[in-house]
Amino acid sequence: MSEKMIEAKKKEADAFMKEGDKLTTKTLLRWKCDWDNAAIAYEKAAKNYRTCKMYDLAKYCFTRLALCQKSIDVYTLAAMSMESASAMAKEMNNQQEAIELLVEASRIYRINGNSSTAADTMTKAAMMMEKTDVNQALELLMDSCEMLDIDDKEYLSGDKFKLTISMLLRHKKYLEAVDQLINQNKMFVKMDNTHDLNKSCLSAIVVLLAIDDVVSAKRRYEEFLNHSSFLHSQEGTTALELINAFDTNNAEAVKNIRSRHLFNFLDNQVAKIAKALTLSENVTGGGIDTPQGGEESVL
């Protein structure tokens, strides 16, 4: 775009922004804001500023547009405008503000009852935040899972759980990862998804053994037997064999088990951990008996 065209676009944008500000300011002669016409003006201004790469002014106009749209109860459009404002902040390398605007967009989607889009937007904010504040990023991811569960949309939360667990493992928060795997199990039980349930149970055992917590691995294994599908599954058999290998300090058995093709079907971060499983000096013997049967899950 030529400099002349850019200058023309900027002048148009300035005029539209001035009009929007005027229509949303109460005066002695104007007792109410004209949100409808102001929205039209701010939208035109925002798009023109964006075209001119004047991102700060574009961000301002998008946030004002969102305010207008909320004022006339058009919440989905308001959330989308807030996402556009976030994109402008990101263009200016203002990561924190971009994240805050995405979180606000998610809140607006949630108010409008659109929990799936709210969760997606919250997840986007979390992934942006991981490098600067992993704890806050994880909190956002967990919130996204929770809002879907509250609205009985757990069938949409699978990817959110995977991202949360993966992030926890990347940052070596192993016990928190196990907790999320257990929460994920509840989702799979609701959906009657025994295939992924079995993989999730094995994943929890793998993570616990990776930090040499054999006692907790045994306890979780016993709990997982409440899922009737787990006992005689390949994942259940492998989990039991791994626990006994660790319990008896059988390094050769651990080596043989971890090389099984089964682990390739676990989520990437868990698969990496599984293939690197080794005994440590802290592991003590004991073993557990092979179970004869399981009970139906009460979750």
Residues 97, 201: Cα–Cα separation, whole Å: 39
How far is CA 278 from its chain centroid?
Answer: 31
Domain shared by 109 and 177, yes or no:
no
With respect to residue 136, please indicate whether it lies within any of the assigned structural domains: no
With respect to residue 146, please indicate whether it lies within any of the assigned structural domains: no
Residues 106, 57: Cα–Cα separation, whole Å: 22
Domain shared by 163 and 103, yes or no:
no
Looking at residue 18, what is its pLDDT?
Answer: 98
Residue 262's CATH number: 1.25.40.10
Residue 181 sits in which domain range?
157-299
With respect to residue 149, please indicate whether it lies within any of the assigned structural domains: no
Domain shared by 188 and 286, yes or no:
yes
User: What are φ and ψ of residue 153, in 5° steps?
Assistant: -120, 40
Q: Cα torsion at 102, 108, 113, 115 (round to 10°)?
A: 10
In 3-state terms, the chain is what percent helix, strand and coil (to 5)? Answer: 75, 0, 25
3-state secondary structure of 2: coil
CA 265 → CA 4, 59, 90, 177, 250, distances in Å? 58, 44, 36, 18, 24
Place of tokens 């993989």: 199
Question: Nearest-CA neighbor of 100 among 78, 129, 77?
Answer: 129
Domain shared by 115 and 9, yes or no:
yes
Question: Nearest-CA neighbor of 297 among 216, 187, 212?
Answer: 187
With respect to residue 141, please indicate whether it lies within any of the assigned structural domains: no
Q: State the total domains in the chain.
A: 2
With respect to residue 49, please indicate whether it lies within any of the assigned structural domains: yes
CA 286 → CA 49, 75, 242, 267, distances in Å? 70, 60, 13, 30
What HEC string does 195-220 produce? HHHHHHHHHHHHHHHHCCCHHHHHHH
Question: Nearest-CA neighbor of 148 among 178, 176, 106, 182?
Answer: 106
With respect to residue 143, please indicate whether it lies within any of the assigned structural domains: no
CB 16 within 8 A of CB 44: yes
pLDDT one digit per residue (tens) for the chain, 299 residues? 778 888 999 999 999 999 999 999 988 777 899 999 999 999 999 999 999 999 999 999 999 999 999 999 999 999 999 999 999 999 999 999 999 999 999 999 999 989 999 999 999 999 999 989 999 999 999 999 888 888 777 777 789 999 999 999 999 999 999 999 999 999 999 999 999 999 999 999 999 999 999 999 999 999 999 999 999 999 999 999 999 999 999 999 999 999 999 999 999 999 999 999 999 765 444 444 444 443 333 32
With respect to residue 108, please indicate whether it lies within any of the assigned structural domains: yes
Domain shared by 46 and 168, yes or no:
no
Segment 119-122 long-range contacts (CB within 8 Å, at least 24 positions apart): 119/144, 119/145, 119/147, 119/148, 119/156, 119/157, 119/160, 120/144, 121/79, 121/83, 122/147
Domain shared by 17 and 93, yes or no:
yes
- Amino acid letter, residue 137: A
Domain shared by 101 and 221, yes or no:
no
Residues 128, 163: Cα–Cα separation, whole Å: 13
Domain shared by 82 and 162, yes or no:
no
With respect to residue 246, please indicate whether it lies within any of the assigned structural domains: yes
Domain shared by 180 and 227, yes or no:
yes
Domain shared by 164 and 293, yes or no:
yes
Domain shared by 86 and 181, yes or no:
no
Helical H segments across the chain, by residue range: 3-23, 35-51, 55-71, 75-91, 95-111, 115-129, 134-150, 158-170, 174-190, 194-210, 214-224, 228-231, 234-247, 251-258, 268-275
Domain shared by 21 and 91, yes or no:
yes
